[in-house]
Structure 1
Amino acid sequence: MSSLAQSIFTMPDLPEVGPKDFERAARILHKRAGIVLGEHKREMAERVLATRARAMKLEEVRLYLDYLEQNPQSGQWEVFVNTFTINHTAFFREQHHFDILAKFAQSRKKPFSVWCCASSTGEEPYSIAMTLRESRAVPDTEVSILATDIDTRAAAAAYEGVYSDERAKAVPEAYLHKYFYRGIGRRTGMVCVKPILRNMIDFDVVNLLSPDWPTEQKFDAIFCRNTMIYFDRATQTKLLERFASVIKPGGLLFVGHSENFTYLTKAFRLQGQTVYVAT
C-alpha cells in the first residue's frame, strides 16, 4: 500500500480512556453547564473524549480532563460543552404555545419582550418573531426578543438563519413568502430569513448556570422548552427561581411537553398545556 493510501485508510489509535474518566467528565460537565450525562451515554461519551484528546495530541483522556480543569477560560471548554448539547428543534413546534403567545401579547402593555433561552439553531425564536409580527399592530417598535443558547455553533447557525426547504415545511406558505428569501443557484432548496425578521432578535451565547446573565431587563414571556430535562432537580429549582426574578408579574413561562415543575417552585403556577404563569 502506498504511503498516501496508508495516510487515508490508517487511523491512529485513540488515546487511552481510564476507568474513571467518564464519571469525571460527567462531573465537570454538570458543574460547568448543568447537563446530566447519563450512564447510557458512556460509550458515546468515552469515544468523544478520546477523539478530543487525540485532537490535542494527548495520550490519555485523563490529561484532556486535567487541561480543562486547569484552564477554565480555555476555548476547549466551548468545544467540550458543544459536544454534549442536543439541538433538536423545529419551526412552530408545539403550535398551541404560539397560539397562546399571540393572544397573550395582545393583552400586555407595550413594549413586549421575550427570552428564548435555549434557541438552538433558530427555528424557535424565528417562530416567536413571526407570531408576534402577525399579532401586533407595530411589532418592530413594540417587541424585543432575546435568543440565547450555550452551544456556540447553534447560536451562529441561528443568526445566519438559513434552512433547507425540508426544515421550513412547518412554516405556513404565506409566512415563507413574507419572511424568507428562496435560494437560487447553489442555494436552491434553501430558504434564508429576511432582515425584517432577523432584526427583531438579539442573539447571544449564554450558559444558564452562569452567575451573571447578560441582561437586566424583565420579560413578558420566557421560552425554556425541552431543556431542563437534562438538568437534575436541584438545578431545575434554582433556574426556576432565577427565571422568576427576570419575568414581569403575570408573565408566562413556556416549557416542553414532558416537563412538569408544579412541585419545584411557588414562583410559577401551571396555567395549562405546559405553560406556567408567574405568581
Structure 2
Amino acid sequence: MNNTTVNIQSDFVLTGAELQKITALIYQRAGIVLTHQKHDMVYNRLTRRLRQLGMKTFTAYLNLLESNPFSDEWQQFINALTTNLTSFFREAYHFPVLAEHARSRQSNYSVWCTAAATGEEPCSIAMTLHEALGPHLNGPCIWATDIDTEVLAKAKTGVYRHTDIQNLTPEQKRAWFLRGTGAQREQVKVKPALLSTIHYQQLNLLSPEWRVPAPFDTRFDAIFCRNVMIYFDKPTQLRILQRFENMLKPGGLLFVGHSENFSNINGPFRLRGQSVYCLTQERA
C-alpha cells in the first residue's frame, strides 16, 4: 500500500502507512480483513477514539496500542472497527428450520449464537425455541457471544426501540416484550422469561480456546454464525469451520449468512437448505 493520505477532515490525517498498520493489527487481533474500500470507515470510527483520548495523530494512537499488548484500549480498537448490522428474525427462512430441528430433538436443545451483536438474533432464536419446545426448555439454552463488548452490554439490558419489533407478530410482542411508559414509552424491554434463556459472553472467534460455560454441554445442537465469515479470509474461514465440527453434536446444524457458501470446502458439513449445513452423523 502506498503512502497516499486520506484527509476527510482538516483536524486529522490518515496516511497510507498508518492505514496499513491498522489493517494488519485488526487482522491479527480479530481476523477481520479490511480492504481499501473501508478507508473512510476506519478513519471515521477511529477519529472518535483519538478525540476521546486527546490524541492528535493516528501514529500516536498506534504507538499506544503497540506499547502494551494487554491494554484495555485493544478492546476499544476492536469495538470501533466491528460492524454490527442486525434485526429481529433477520434472514427469516432459517427459523422454521431451527424450530423443526429442535422439535425433532426436544430435551436439552442448545444453540450457540456466535455474533450476538445487540441481542436481536439470540432473542429471535429464544422465541423460536420457546414456541417450538415450550416446557421442554429448562434454563439457559443459548450461548450468545460477540467480540464487541459495547454491543453485548446493550444486549444484556434487553431494551430496544418500539420500532425495532414492528415486524414481529402481535402474539410475539405480547408474549415477550414489555412496553415502556412515560419517557420510555418508545422503548420495549425483553421479558425476564425470555432473557433468562440467553447467556451473553464476550468471545473472539480467533481465540485459541473457546471455553463453553456451565450449564452448557461442550457441544451444541445448532450454531448460528451468520454474516461473520465474510469478514475473514479463506484460511481463517477454514480454521473456524474445522473448529465448529467439534462444537456440534452429530446431525447438528450450522446456519450461515445468505452470501456465505462453503459447499466447495471438503469436510463433514453437508448443505441442507438455504445457507444451512448439517454435520454428518459419522463425526460422532
Same fold (TM over 0.5): yes
The secondary structure found in structure 1 opposite 2:204 is coil
**Are positions 1:72 and 2:73 aligned together?**
no
- Tell me the secondary structure at the aligned position of residue 115 of structure 1: strand
Offset at 1:238? 0.7
Task: List aligned pairs for 1:245-260, cutoff 5 A.
Answer: 245-260=246-261
Q: 1:277 to 1:84 in 2, by over 3 A?
A: same
Matched, 1:183 2:184: no
How far, CA to CA, are the matches of 1:250 and 1:183 in structure 2?
42
**Amino acid paired to 1:117:** T
For residues 209-266 of structure 1, the C-alpha deviation after alignment (integer angstroms, 9 at most, x for no partner) is 1111121610000001111111111111111011111111110000111110112341
SS at match of 2:71: coil
Call closer, same or farther: CA 1:48–1:91 in 2, change over 3 Å.
closer
- Tell me the distance in 1 between the aligned counterparts of 2:136 and 2:191: 15
> Partner of 1:96 in structure 2?
93
The one-letter amino acid of 2:207's match is S
Kindly indicate whether the alpha-carbon contact (under 8 Å) linking 2:46 and 2:80 is maintained by their aligned counterparts in 1: no
Three-state SS of the structure 2 residue aligned to 1:276 is strand
Residue range with higher mean Cα deviation, 191-200 or 16-25? 16-25
After superposition, the CA RMSD in angstroms is: 1.8
Cα deviation for residue 169 of structure 1 reads: 1.0
**Structure 2 partner of 1:231:** 232
Is 1:14 equivalent to 2:36 in the alignment? no
Q: 1:51: how far off?
A: 4.1
Please give the alpha-carbon distance, in whole angstroms, between the structure 1 residues aligned to 2:117 and 2:192: 19
Matches within 5 A, 1:104-143: 104-108=101-105, 110-141=107-138
Letter in 2 for 1:225: R
Question: What percent of counterpart residues are identical?
Answer: 45
- TM-score between the two structures when normalised by the length of structure 2: 0.89
Quick check: 44-53 or 161-170, which moved more? 44-53
SS, match of residue 250 in structure 1: strand
1:141-160 alignment, distance < 5 Å: 141=138, 144-160=141-157
Aligned pair in 2 of structure 1 residues 160, 16: CA closer, same or farther (>3 Å)? same
1:57 aligned to which of 48, 51, 54: 54
- Aligned pair partner of 1:174 in 171, 174, 179: 171
Query: Are 1:274 and 2:260 matched, yes or no?
Result: no
Instruction: Tell me the secondary structure at the aligned position of residue 37 of structure 2.
Output: helix
Within the alignment, does 1:84 sit opposite 2:81 as a pair? Answer: yes
1:95 counterpart SS class: coil
Gaps of 5+ in 2: 1-8
CA distance in 2: counterparts of 1:142 and 1:49, whole angstroms:
40
Label 1:265 to 1:240 Cα distance change in 2 as closer, same or farther (>3 A).
farther
The CA deviation at 1:165 is 1.4
Conserved 8 A contact 1:50-1:60: no
Distance 2:93 2:232 in 1: 25
Amino acid at match of 2:244: F
Whole-angstrom CA distance in 2 between matches of 1:276 and 1:180: 32
Secondary structure of 1:74 counterpart: coil
What SS does structure 1 have at the residue aligned with 2:115? coil
Aligned to 1:36: 33
Normalising by structure 1, report the TM-score: 0.91
Cα 1:109–1:167, aligned 2, differ >3 Å: closer, same or farther?
Answer: closer
**Secondary structure at the counterpart of residue 23 of structure 1:** helix
What amino acid sits opposite 1:62 in the alignment?
Answer: T
Amino acid of the structure 1 residue aligned with 2:223: I
Q: Which amino acid aligns with 1:26?
A: T
Q: How many residues align?
A: 268
